């Protein structure tokens, strides 16, 4: 018995030390996040676009020097972004070259393609991504008049010396006794460059059979001023930097549309839950928070059960009193109906104490990848308090996640049966806990 008490005290001391560190060191607004692998928004069949070929982008730009840089960025960013998700393979310039073996040998001979070997295979039809863009590139150069002010305070000599023999002086004052200030204004011309880029980027994807799978256009806009009266004091941007700032958002949208990808979402902790658990969760001490939450839920469940029992006992007494004292049947039935409704409302109110901790336990399990268990906790949270809309929304979100993961898993099985497999992607973080 003593050893159990000693272990319990050590555990509580451990929790206290963690909480003390959190309170003294951790930022108060620290947030918690979790990552999911979700399917593409557009619902494109993954099998149709395996080993997708991204054709050289066709750009129409008013700045011919920038056009080549923007085209290279668009192609490379789209390739790398899709490949980064590790779900779809992207064919490079050596893979599936239409010009045949001669072109392949020429490339391998003329360039240092380290790590490549010649391996001939039958021609394979591939999905294609066609990219085009119409961009107006305006570059304005000029100079802004920048006004600077220098404030000086004139001093007057008092004509007397201090005890050390130093001549004394004081700030000059006007007739009202205010210290005078002399303001010198200077105007300087500072050069600036203003970039104004706008247009539309088009993405069209076809299946190996030539069927249209995806067709979207995204407007792009960038206004950037460097120098002059702008707040930017860095050097002039390169064409590559402008291309990234203008085109990256459109590329990211396309990747989310067509490819399964990882998303990170913020999970908002219910501040009405056990305070110790809330602090630990914000400090990402999840295993310790799990222990605290389990104890808090157990305690609250006992409290809710005791209150429910008291409510039930009080109800039975009131019901018996009504049945004994109220003679008219209709009045008796109405009185029983009224106290029954009151009993139901009181029991619901007694159970609401459980909702915040149930929800936080669901958040904890979601972070740890235990999605099935997380849904159960979110359901308990909403059942305990039907006004807890965040728990209801969380249940729906995780249920959709599980459904999407199962669909991707089924699609993997189909691909493997057909001798196709995605390049290096593993979704253990999703499927292990379903």
Q: How far apart are CA 178 and CA 172, in angstroms?
A: 8
Number of domains making up the chain: 4
Residue 432 buriedness (CB in 10 A; 0-12 / 13-18 / 19+): exposed
One domain for residues 174 and 300: no
1-56: pLDDT as tens digits: 545 445 554 444 454 444 444 444 444 445 677 776 666 766 676 666 767 888 89
Model pLDDT, residue 106:
66
Is there a domain that residue 114 lies in?
no
Q: How far apart are CA 123 and CA 161, in angstroms?
A: 101
Instruction: Give the Cα-Cα-Cα angle 123, 124, 126 (nearest 5 degrees).
Output: 140
Model pLDDT, residue 114:
53
Is there a domain that residue 169 lies in?
yes
Model pLDDT, residue 244:
95
Question: What domain range is 291 assigned to?
Answer: 275-428
Flag residues of the chain having pLDDT under 70.
1-31, 36-39, 41-43, 45-48, 50, 85-124, 232-234, 405, 408-434
Three-state DSSP class for residue 140: strand
Please name which of 216, 185, 220 lies closest in space to residue 200, comparing C-alpha atoms.
220
One domain for residues 235 and 341: no
Domain boundary among 169, 189, 209: 189
Pairing of β 128-152 and β 52-54: parallel
Is there a domain that residue 267 lies in?
no
Is there a domain that residue 433 lies in?
no
Is there a domain that residue 115 lies in?
no
Pairing of β 52-54 and β 90-91: parallel
One domain for residues 314 and 409: yes
One domain for residues 338 and 246: no
Is there a domain that residue 118 lies in?
no
Model pLDDT, residue 86:
57
One domain for residues 293 and 381: yes
Q: How far is CA 127 from CA 47, 95, 166, 212, 413, in A?
A: 10, 13, 89, 10, 21
One domain for residues 306 and 364: yes
One domain for residues 167 and 98: no
One domain for residues 308 and 408: yes
Q: What is the dihedral of CA 387, 389, 392, 396, to 10 degrees?
A: 160
Other Cβ atoms closer than 10 A to 59: 20
Model pLDDT, residue 57:
93
Q: What is the mean pLDDT of the chain?
A: 80
Domain boundary among 230, 260, 290: 260
- The tokens describing 318, both together, are 């009131």
CATH code of residue 221 = 3.40.50
Is there a domain that residue 116 lies in?
no
Three-state DSSP class for residue 124: coil
Backbone phi, psi, residue 58, to 5°: -105, 115
CB 47 within 8 A of CB 411: yes
One domain for residues 320 and 417: yes
Model pLDDT, residue 310:
95
Is there a domain that residue 270 lies in?
no
- Which segments of 111-260 does DSSP mark as H helices, in order? 239-258
One domain for residues 254 and 304: no
One domain for residues 365 and 350: yes
CB 147 within 8 A of CB 185: yes
One domain for residues 308 and 207: no
Say what the pTM is. 0.55
């Amino acid at each position: 018995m003593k050893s159990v008490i000693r272990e319990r005290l050590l555990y509580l001391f451990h929790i206290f030390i963690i909480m003390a560190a959190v309170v003294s060191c951790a930022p108060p607004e620290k947030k918690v996040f979790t990552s999911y692998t979700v399917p593409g928004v557009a619902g494109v069949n993954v099998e149709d676009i395996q080993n997708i070929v991204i054709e050289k982008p066709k750009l129409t730009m008013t700045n011919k020097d920038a056009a080549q840089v923007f085209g290279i960025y668009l192609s490379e960013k789209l390739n790398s972004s899709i490949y980064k998700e590790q779900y779809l393979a992207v064919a490079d310039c050596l893979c599936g070259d239409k010009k045949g073996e001669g072109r392949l040998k020429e490339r391998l001979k003329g360039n240092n393609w380290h790590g490549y070997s010649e391996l001939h295979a039958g021609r394979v039809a591939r999905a294609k991504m066609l990219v085009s863009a119409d961009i107006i590139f305006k570059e304005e150069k000029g100079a802004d008049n920048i006004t600077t002010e220098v404030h000086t305070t004139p001093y007057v000599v008092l004509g007397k010396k201090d005890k050390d023999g130093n001549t004394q002086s004081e700030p000059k004052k006007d007739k009202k006794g205010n210290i005078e200030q002399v303001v010198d204004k200077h105007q300087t011309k500072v050069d600036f460059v203003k970039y104004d880029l706008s247009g539309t980027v088009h993405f069209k994807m076809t299946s190996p059979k030539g069927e249209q799978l995806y067709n979207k256009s995204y407007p792009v806009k960038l206004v950037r001023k460097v120098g002059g009266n702008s707040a930017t004091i860095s050097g002039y941007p390169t064409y590559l930097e402008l291309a990234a700032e203008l085109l990256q958002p459109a590329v990211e949208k396309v990747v989310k549309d067509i490819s399964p990808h990882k998303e990170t979402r913020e999970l908002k902790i219910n501040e009405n839950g056990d305070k110790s658990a809330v602090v630990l969760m914000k400090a990402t001490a999840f295993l310790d928070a799990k222990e605290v939450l389990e104890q808090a839920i157990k305690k609250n469940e006992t409290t809710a059960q005791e209150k429910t029992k008291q409510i039930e006992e009080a109800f039975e007494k009131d019901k018996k009193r009504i049945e004994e004292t109220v003679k008219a049947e209709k009045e008796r039935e109405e009185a029983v109906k009224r106290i029954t409704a009151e009993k139901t409302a009181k029991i619901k109110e007694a159970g609401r104490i459980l909702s915040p901790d149930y929800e936080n336990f669901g958040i904890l399990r979601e972070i740890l990848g235990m999605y099935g268990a997380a849904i159960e906790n979110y359901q308990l949270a909403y059942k305990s308090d039907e006004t807890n809309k965040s728990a209801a929304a969380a249940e729906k979100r995780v249920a959709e996640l599980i459904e999407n993961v199962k669909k991707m898993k089924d699609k993997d099985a189909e691909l493997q049966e057909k001798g196709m497999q995605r390049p290096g992607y593993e979704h253990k973080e999703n499927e292990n806990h379903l």
